[in-house]
Amino acid sequence: MVQAGRQQVWWQASRLSLQMLLVMMVACCSVALSSAAKCDENATRDRRHRQILDRRAVILQGLSDDLDDVSEWCRERQLTSALEEVAELRSTLTETTSRPEPPRLMTPELPASLPAEEFAWRSQLLKARQTRAGELYTLARAALRAGFPSLAFSMIGDVIRFDPDHKFARSVLGQEQYRDPAAKDDPNYAGEWVSAFEKQMRSGQKPQMYDPRFGWIAVASLTRYEQGLRPWKGDWISVEKEGELRRDFRNAWEIQSEHFLVKTNVSLEAGLEISSKLEIFHAWLQQNFAAFFDTPASLQERFENAGRKSSARKRKPMEVHYYATRDEYQKRIAGKVPPNIETNGLYWQPDRTCYFYQNPAREDFATLFHEATHQIFDVDTTEARRVAARAMALKTRQKRPDEWILCERSNFWLIEGLACYFESFNVQEDGQVTLGDPTYVRFDTARQRLLDPAFLFYLPAQQFFALGKDEFQNHPQISPLYTQASGFAHFLMHYDDGLYRDDLIQLLAEVYRPDADRILEEPSFSRIAGVSWTDLDHQYRIHMQNLDDLIQ
């Protein structure tokens, strides 16, 4: 009986073990299938990214062929000046680098009074540009649907380059047609492309105008400004008197633009230059980081509603203070940073203001763009983090929500890495934007610390991404960590024609706009991009070696 009982127990135990084994086998198969499915999904995504880039290249080549056809037509008729014009146009249409702002003025229709041959070749050229722009716009929409918003918006820039008056592409960028009443009798004036903000400023009973010397002023005041007079407390004073009064920062110049309010006691000219560069930077971010500022659904809506009338979104401008001396700056930021820490600029989150000073030793705008990056990302997403804090309080049964701390438990490198990356943002005299120059000190040092044994430092990606705010800021190797953060930002923005750029932007969005439904889950770049940490380490090294080859 005992033996039989033992056999029964053994059989039951064996059956249980067999069941557990089967469960484990099913689980392993499920994991394997899931991993295989994920690999297939990633391969499909990478393939779609490459297919879109290849299709874009085909369209660019198509335009080049069209230009060849127009050139040949002109050559057969010995139209020398036309050939020169088409050749010059080719250099601007078929390049892929960032260009200055697209033309503001709309293109008038071709005059019917043109000589027959000129009308013919210009018509051929116009048709080619409009056709290829239409193809690119369709491709941009496909890129958005495929989950590549950054690529989609970069191609919107191409569309406008091909066809400056493509109303749907202009609408996606938030631009509208405006006709200046003062130019209504000009036969060569067809209108302008402006933002909803500018359209609003220039309209109404008391229209304003933007003058690069003075900023936004009432149209009726232009004559007095040009006479050297300035408004002061309901009266007009000399420009010299104004300069004396505004040396006191309490009377600082205030330069208002669409998204910023710059206050400075340096000079009106200095304030206008900062304001202009900040607006260019903001516009670049809005276009190239569109998926950060809008959800996928709202981005799709922008494309779907392109061409329809929009209204200016009213929001309090972001404030920037620019002081004439370091002493003034230090007094203003006292208590905001530890006294033993030297800073050239500061974004102070509690009052959502950037602080800088005129630094004779640094004439570039690297610090401005660094701190403005923090400001723009933070201000645009403040409410999202308030919602997240309330959701966290409910999940953890807190009576009151705590203040949401960005990257408290992981991903802190992202906050500083992108700000360091955007230090390389440069606006040239012709308006062209350059970014990510491999020789910029942040990236050059990152390259050296990975490849040069004399400077060697590298924290593997999985450990690096896992560092939270306190771990990062109190790390004994904090300076090399900042360098690696700059390097990783460059890598994820540029590796393999921007393969990871949208994944980087999605990580940034998840950090700044936490998902209330996944509030206890830390954002993971490996999950978002579907790439292993080991592969990231390998690809980062390849990227840095490529930069090394470029620099050598």
> In whole angstroms, what separates CA 335 from the centre of its chain?
32
Query: What pLDDT does residue 495 have?
Result: 96
Host H or E run for residue 318: strand 318-323
Q: What is the pLDDT of residue 26?
A: 47
- Tens digit of pLDDT for each residue in 24-76? 444 444 444 444 545 566 677 788 889 999 999 999 999 999 999 999 999 99
479 has pLDDT over 50: yes
Can you give the pTM of this predicted structure?
0.82
- Return d(Cα 511, Cα 505) in angstroms, integer: 10
Q: What b/e string do you get for 169-192 counting C-beta neighbours within 10 Å, with b at 16 or more?
A: bbbbbbbbebeeeeeeeeeeeebb
Average pLDDT over residues 359-379: 93
pLDDT of residue 2: 41
Structure confidence at residue 370 (pLDDT): 97
pLDDT given for residue 287 in this prediction? 85
Going by C-alpha positions, the residue among 294, 335, 364 that lies closest to residue 505 is 294
Q: What is the pLDDT of residues 308-344, one digit of tens each?
A: 766 545 678 999 999 999 999 999 999 998 888 889 9
For the chain, helix (H) and strand (E) counts, in that order, are 21, 13
Q: 440-458 pLDDT, tens per residue?
A: 999 999 999 999 999 999 9
Alpha helices, DSSP H only, in 359-477? Answer: 366-395, 412-421, 441-451, 461-466, 469-473
| Distance in angstroms (rounded) separating the CA atoms of residues 166 and 143 | 18
C-beta separation of 277 from 263 below 8 A: no
pLDDT band at 363 (very low <50, low <70, confident <90, very high): confident
Phi, psi of 182 (to 5 degrees): -70, -20
Which pair of tokens denotes residue 125?
């050229």
Distance CA 114, CA 117 (A): 8
